[in-house]
Copies of this chain bind each other. A is one copy, B any other.
Amino acid sequence: MNKTRTSIVDIAHAAGVSKSTVSLVLQGSPLVNEKTREKVNALIGDLGYVYNRGAANLRQSKSKIIGIVVNDLTNSFFAELAVGMDMMVQSAGYVQFLAHSGESVDRQREVISSMRENGIAGLILSPARGTEASDIKPLADSGIPVVLVVRNVPGAKVSTLLSDNYVGAKAAIRHLISLGHSRIAFMGGFVDTAVFGERLRGYRDALAEANIPLNEKFVIHSAPSRAGGVAAVERMMVFAERPTSALCLNDAVAFGVCDGLRSSNIEPGKGFGIIGFDDVIEAKTAVPALTTVSVDPQGMGQRAAQLVLKQINAGQTDPESIVTSVRLVVRQSCGAPVKQLEELA
């Protein structure tokens, strides 16, 4: 309703002091007299003053905004990641521009440039598939800290926070082997992503380690989604010699694989061992409970936020690469005889 919002000079005038004094009060400076501080604070409440952070940012040429771009919010792994970041960011007194790129690099570019115009202090990016170093370069060059999370971008000279995909996949396969499986599939994912490559490498090496020959047909590509899992099973069913278990690219695929098996009257966890990757919240409550490589997305989000906040505060520091450890959580879907926990470094 108010034509013009009340500003610092309005309350200064009302309190009979200068705007500088009010500013000092706002910043909690110890320089002001206790009496004036109280008077000013009272007026602030009465007049319904709201601080204009934009103006402050302009003057100080810095901001309290962190940009976050996530490739797919509807995937609960990334949603949890976002929630973790949110927690950290808010409690550090920052706010976030949180955007969803929907795996579109164009969209992502637009969003990043819009964030740039709005003056972000740092950016956390879970890049869309096909993101190139040049998409991030201008931002990074202008001195804004950038943290890449979950997926790496080849050639980008910025900080990264990735999970240990190789070790996780290897541990999962070892576990399946220890349960007596030898025909083990790898399901889901597109070949052009780094995550897929690393997990596949873990799969291969673990098989090699156990002298199990690799059957290329057992690497079944599909969309990294629930629907993709269903599709992968359909593809598998026509094989003459079928796998008896599978490591899935992620939990979404694993759930899809369960769905697909049921459609073919195979009971997941009994007739076929399944291991996922990520450990989203539903993994625990699903039936059968999903054996999976836990990545702790929420914790990862928090760490990413911490990292970017650290870099903002430190001015400019060198890019840092963190690999977060990962652990296999054994539940029912792999058909393990007993419930047991295996920890990894």
- A156 at interface by CB-CB < 8 Å: no
A138-158 interface code vs B (CB 8 A; 1 in, 0 out): 100111000000000000000
In angstroms, Cα B115 to Cα A192, docked, is 39
- Give the 10 A-B residue pairs with the shortest CB-CB distance, closest first: A98-B98, A259-B287, A262-B287, A53-B117, A86-B100, A51-B117, A79-B79, A54-B54, A226-B285, A73-B79
For A96, the chain B residues whose CB sits under 8 A away are 97-99
CB closest chain-B residue, reference A289: B259
Cβ distance A252 to chain B, nearest Cβ, rounded Å: 9
For A226, the chain B residues whose CB sits under 8 A away are 281-282, 285-286
**Stretch in A55-63, A162-170, A305-313 touching the partner:** A55-63
Interface set of A (CB-CB < 8 Å, partner B): 1-2, 4-5, 48, 50-55, 57-58, 61, 63-65, 73-74, 76, 79-80, 82-83, 86, 90, 95-100, 102, 107, 110-111, 113-119, 138, 141-143, 226-227, 230, 255-256, 258-260, 262-263, 281-282, 285-287, 316
Pair A4/B61 contact, Cβ less than 8 Å: yes
For A102, the chain B residues whose CB sits under 8 A away are 83
In angstroms, Cα B94 to Cα A118, docked, is 10
Cβ distance A12 to chain B, nearest Cβ, rounded Å: 18
Pair A259/B286 contact, Cβ less than 8 Å: yes
Copies of this chain held together in the complex: 2
7 contacts across the A-B interface (CB closer than 8 A): A54-B119, A73-B79, A73-B86, A82-B100, A90-B111, A96-B97, A260-B287
From B1, B95, B286, B316, contact of A142 by CB (8 A): B1
Pair A118/B2 contact, Cβ less than 8 Å: no
From B51, B73, B119, B138, contact of A82 by CB (8 A): B73
Interface centre among A1, A79, A83, A111 (most CB of B within 10 A): A79
For A316, the chain B residues whose CB sits under 8 A away are 1
Interface centre among A4, A5, A116, A285 (most CB of B within 10 A): A285
Pair B230/A259 contact, Cβ less than 8 Å: no
From B114, B281, B285, contact of A74 by CB (8 A): B281
For A61, the chain B residues whose CB sits under 8 A away are 4-5
